[in-house]
Amino acid sequence: MSNAGSVTVRAPGKVNVQLVVGGRRTDGFHELANVFMAVSSYDDITVSPADRLRITVSGPGKERVPTNDSNLAAQAATLLGKHAGVEPGVHIHIDKRLPVAGGMAGGSADAAGALVACDALWGLGTEQHVLMSLAAELGSDVPFNLLGGTALGIGRGESLTRLPCPRTCHWVFAIAGFGLSTPEVYGAHERRRREAGLPFAAADMPTPQPSAALLEALAQGDTAGLAASISNDLEATATALRPELTRTLKAGQAAGALAGMLCGTGATMAFLATDRPEAERIAERLLASEACASAFVADGPVPGPTLA
């Protein structure tokens, strides 16, 4: 939407269909094989001219979203402004539906949405590859949030290759009543490996790879194959940090999900369903089980941020 000098962008969240975690690099990031899928749950980012950079937030969890310079959408506007030589005097309003600290890349979606929205507001027409490199400066997941669809991210997750996925996947997301911090989850993952006498440095570990079975299932639109191969190497760590997540996982499986796993670094759990009506039934049963704070259904893959 672009009226009276404002622009609104719908920015989708994501699920990590497979997250394979390798060793920690000397820059502190972990080598990943990260299979991303953008899903139809969105934050709306509205930008309008203002005398200074200002952030407001509405929606569930808004009190946990920073409204200062640390907000990733604010950083996105500042970075794009600097790149284009534009003063980033802009009011960014984030209408949140994605869970905060939920592992669905809510912050990264807001950053990707702010890049697209400010680019339109300022009439820049920045080329996509330039926006992608700005996105990578903002965070490991932001390039994927800009790209959308389905993709494999290697390196720290920012180096992307699109993956074919001809079939719509139906997901149920169980939202926890708490968030998990991404650096804390990676830190705990490394501690667990160290305590178990396992290597944890990138130099001592093979480069992570997605499973051939998962890529094949995605390409073939094989839901049963996908259910058999979705995985997240951080799930054991997240459930060790918050054991109640195991109950959520079991509740989703008991509710009829084909498979379930931790979403990104959590604390959201993602479940795969055969079709949309079944996904809606699973979400209702999950809510009734009280094994999560809320639950909703979303489909994927969907395109990246779009002007609303």
Q: Does 156 bind ligand C5P (CB under 6 A)?
A: yes
Q: Which of residues 81-140 bind ligand C5P (CB under 6 A)?
A: 139-140
Active-site option among 43, 110, 119, 141: 141
142 vs 292 by CB, closer to ligand C5P = 142
Whether 141 sits among the annotated catalytic residues: the reply is yes
Taking the C-alpha atoms of residue 129 and residue 108, their distance in angstroms, rounded to an integer, is: 17
28 vs 197 by CB, closer to ligand C5P = 28
112 vs 169 by CB, closer to ligand C5P = 112
Q: Is 133 annotated as a binding residue?
A: no
Q: Is 229 annotated as a binding residue?
A: no
Task: Name which of 105, 42, 41 is nearest 72 in CA terms.
Answer: 105
Q: Which of residues 184-223 bind ligand C5P (CB under 6 A)?
A: 186
- Running DSSP on this structure, what letter comes out for residue 204? G
Q: How far is the CB of 265 from ligand C5P (least distance, A)?
A: 7
Give the per-residue SS3 of 30-41.
EEEEEEEEEEEE
Q: Which of 17, 20, 32, 151 binds ligand C5P (CB under 6 A)?
A: 32
Q: Of 29-37, 215-223, 251-259, 274-282, which segment contacts ligand C5P by CB under 6 A? A: 29-37
The number of beta carbons lying within 10 Å of the beta carbon of residue 177 is 9
- For every residue of 220-287, DSSP letters joined together read HT-HHHHHHH-EETTHHHHHHH-THHHHHHHHHHHTT-SEEEE-TTSS-EEEEESSHHHHHHHHHHHH
Q: What count of Cα atoms within 13 Å lies in the side-chain half-sphere of residue 188? A: 18
Interacting residues toward ligand C5P by CB under 6 A: 29-30, 32, 139-141, 156-157, 182-183, 186
